[in-house]
Amino acid sequence: MALTDDIQLLGQVPLFQGFTDDQLRLIAFGAEKRKIAEGQALFREHSPAECAFVIARGSFDLWSGERDGKATIKATTGNGTMLSELALFTLCERKFTAIAKEDSEVIRITRILFHRMVEEFPDVADVVFSRIKGNIAALASGAVAMQGRFI
């Protein structure tokens, strides 16, 4: 993938929608590309998350451990999906294990790179904060809708 392809792909990621080409170029130029073979783990559940990944090509099964100790597939993701978005903002742990369903390629975006971009373009912080606020509101709304299942 060329730099222009990476910029176009990053522009389709919900967190980065509305960013300028210069902002996306800074991320794309500073990010690292990784090839992941079919069956290989990109990361493991409960491991420290120091970066986010955008799937550039291929797909991943997202596995999570159950209370009985068995792992189950919670979702399958593909091109343009960002994994571990929260890692761009703070130290956290991976909530699942990502296993490549096929030979795949990802773009690795570190927290340091993302913070540098926010420092370079302070207006981005407002856009990102607004998106995070919307995501948290949707999550809270979903939790309220499920509250009857736990009472």
- Catalogue the E-assigned strands of the chain: 32-36, 41-43, 48-49, 51-57, 60-65, 71-77, 82-83, 92-93, 97-100, 104-110
CATH number at residue 136: 2.60.120.10
Q: Which pTM was predicted?
A: 0.86
What's the pLDDT tens digit per position in 83-99? 999 899 889 999 999 99
C-alpha 45/C-alpha 58 separation (Å) is 20
What is the Cα 106 distance to its own chain's centre?
Answer: 10
Q: How many domains does the chain have?
A: 1
The parent domain of residue 13 ranges over 3-149
Q: What is the DSSP letter of 58?
A: S
What's the pLDDT tens digit per position in 21-78? 999 999 999 999 999 999 999 999 999 999 999 999 999 999 998 888 888 999 999 9
**How many CA atoms does the CB half-sphere of 24 hold within 13 Å?**
20
Residues 22, 27, 33, 37, CA torsion sign: negative
